[in-house]
Amino acid sequence: MVDSLKKNSMEENLIPKLENEEKSNRRLSWAALVEEIKRVGYLAGPMVAVTLSQYLLQVISTMMVGHLGELALSSSAIAISLAGVTGFSL
């Protein structure tokens, strides 16, 4: 049962090991490369989406405040910058 869990977990190697070939002559096949990109993409895709949405949230709020006037825009830009630098926005 432990072996079946290990095979399905993310701890297994992304690139299969070749037993009969030497390390210097070993090359990746396109299928193995595509499979690795898919597996990394499944992990990285949601993280990229969250990072972009957090950045766009600040951009959109700054754009909306820009319609209020120059003083409101400059003060909100300073506040957003300070919050980002100090880590308050986490």
Task: Establish if 80 belongs to a structural domain.
Answer: yes
Task: Establish if 59 belongs to a structural domain.
Answer: yes
Task: Establish if 78 belongs to a structural domain.
Answer: yes
Which two structure tokens, joined as six digits, stand for 68?
């209020």
Task: Establish if 18 belongs to a structural domain.
Answer: no
Task: Establish if 71 belongs to a structural domain.
Answer: yes
Total number of domains constituting the chain:
1
Task: Establish if 81 belongs to a structural domain.
Answer: yes
Q: 48, exposed or middle or buried, with CB in 10 Å at 0-12, 13-18, 19+? A: exposed
Query: Is residue 10 pLDDT above 90, yes or no?
Result: no
**Parent domain of 85:** 48-90
Residues 6 or more apart whose CB falls under 8 angstroms from that of 52 comprise none
Centre a 10 Å sphere on the Cβ of residue 63 and count the other Cβ atoms it contains. 10
When pLDDT is cut at 50, 70 and 90, the band that residue 58 belongs to is confident
Query: pTM (2 decimals)?
Result: 0.54
Q: Which of 20-24, 28-32, 40-44, 63-67 has the lowest mean pLDDT?
A: 20-24
pLDDT of res. 33: 84
Give the side-chain half-sphere CA count within 13 A for 60.
6
Centre a 10 Å sphere on the Cβ of residue 14 and count the other Cβ atoms it contains. 13
Task: Establish if 12 belongs to a structural domain.
Answer: no
Mean pLDDT, to the nearest integer, of 39-65?
91
Q: Which of 46, 48, 44, 45 is nearest to 56 (CA)?
A: 48
Task: Establish if 34 belongs to a structural domain.
Answer: no
